[in-house]
A and B are shown apart, each in its own frame.
Chain A
Amino acid sequence: NAGVMQNPRHLVRRRGQEARLRCSPMKGHSHVYWYRQLPEEGLKFMVYLQKENIIDESGMPKERFSAEFPKEGPSILRIQQVVRGDSAAYFCASSLLAGASYNEQFFGPGTRLTVL
């Protein structure tokens, strides 16, 4: 069983460019979460999606950031016009069933974004 897959693993962008981060959940999982980790910090929740729906985006910056989880294909976290402060590790997690008695989230290896 493949785990959560993320690509690219490393991404370098210049200020003002766009960054697209992809996440394929574990097989059978239909719930995806995105988190951001700054150096020497814990992970910060950004957004929670189900197929074709954004459930909770309370952790997403209001501008430049967007996320989607289409019916087919991976979930995408998109950052427009990147700035140096966007440099971080971005992790995706997936879970099997929201609202279950014990909803475990399994994390991918992350995408490390560097903005020059």
Chain B
Amino acid sequence: GAVVSQHPSWVICKSGTSVKIECRSLDFQATTMFWYRQFPKQSLMLMATSNEGSKATYEQGVEKDKFLINHASLTLSTLTVTSAHPEDSSFYICSAREVREGEQYFGPGTRLTVT
């Protein structure tokens, strides 16, 4: 089946630094990718929709200048958490929507810890 990977799987960074998370669709093309954040014992919260070659669309309450999203190709989207703070510590999950069938597949997630 279709596979979505994320890199890194976990990362620890110091407060004030920036962290980049990659989301790749390995065996299919995805014009649309989505980024979610999940805090412990909570549901997934949609952060933004990423469309290849255009600007991302952010959900209400999500700071676009803090969470930079780039979708430069049909198989890669990146999320950069800028000037990270401890409250940004969370589990970040991406999903990719296949071009042809419209099916959506999730990545394994990235655990971000900001110290």
A joins B in a complex: no
